[in-house]
Amino acid sequence: MNGTKIAYKSIDEYILQFPLEIQELLISIRKVIKESAPDAEEKISYQMPTFYLHGNLVNFAAYKNHIGFYPTSSGISAFKQEISEYKSSKGAVQFPLEKPLPYALISKIVKFRVGENKKKAEAKLKKKFDVVRDFD
């Protein structure tokens, strides 16, 4: 079996592989995520565009009939009502290509995930600080 799987080095490289109309959607999603999480770092994880801030924030990817958006299971469960019209699973939601993308909803979910990751990071730091203080 020939393992010629492409290893993307950047989100730009990932986006450029798609037809122009899909590229435009991916660029728009990327922009919404950047605006909603300006301190997040861009990277490729699991061969998908990923935003990282104190841990994985969200991923997204293009498929034949939909855009997959992966805000982790907490991002899905927190917005269960708002995403009910879309096909979803424990950690993903599928936005069909034939419908307009819900940019405001994507922004809300990303902002929720930013808050969640910041709280986790602060709790971790506090715990670390408490352990250090116990040694004084």
For 38-56, what is each residue's pLDDT tens digit? 999 999 999 999 999 999 9
Q: How many domains does the chain have?
A: 1
Evaluate whether residue 2 is within a structural domain: no
Evaluate whether residue 1 is within a structural domain: no
Evaluate whether residue 49 is within a structural domain: yes
pLDDT classification of 82: cutoffs 50, 70, 90: very high
pTM for this entry: 0.88
Query: Which pLDDT value is given to residue 4?
Result: 52
Residue percentage of the chain with pLDDT more than 70: 89
Query: Which pLDDT value is given to residue 6?
Result: 78
pLDDT classification of 93: cutoffs 50, 70, 90: very high
Evaluate whether residue 4 is within a structural domain: no
Structure token digits, residue 89: 């699973």
Evaluate whether residue 38 is within a structural domain: yes
Query: Which pLDDT value is given to residue 131?
Result: 52
Long-range contacts of 129-135 (CB under 8 A, 24+ apart): none
Tell me which residue range forms the domain holding 114: 11-134
Query: Which pLDDT value is given to residue 2?
Result: 43
Query: Which pLDDT value is given to residue 29?
Result: 98
Kindly tell me if the per-residue pLDDT of 125 is higher than 80.
Answer: no
What is the sign of the dihedral through the CA atoms of 53, 94, 36 and 73? negative
Q: What is the dihedral of CA 114, 119, 125, 128, to 10 degrees?
A: -140
Answer whether 60's CB lies under 8 Å from 71's CB: no
- What are the pLDDT digits (tens) for 10-49? 999 999 999 999 999 999 999 999 999 999 999 999 999 9
Evaluate whether residue 91 is within a structural domain: yes
Kindly tell me if the per-residue pLDDT of 57 is higher than 60.
Answer: yes
Kindly tell me if the per-residue pLDDT of 99 is higher than 60.
Answer: yes
Q: What backbone torsions phi and psi does residue 99 show, to the nearest 5 degrees?
A: -110, 155
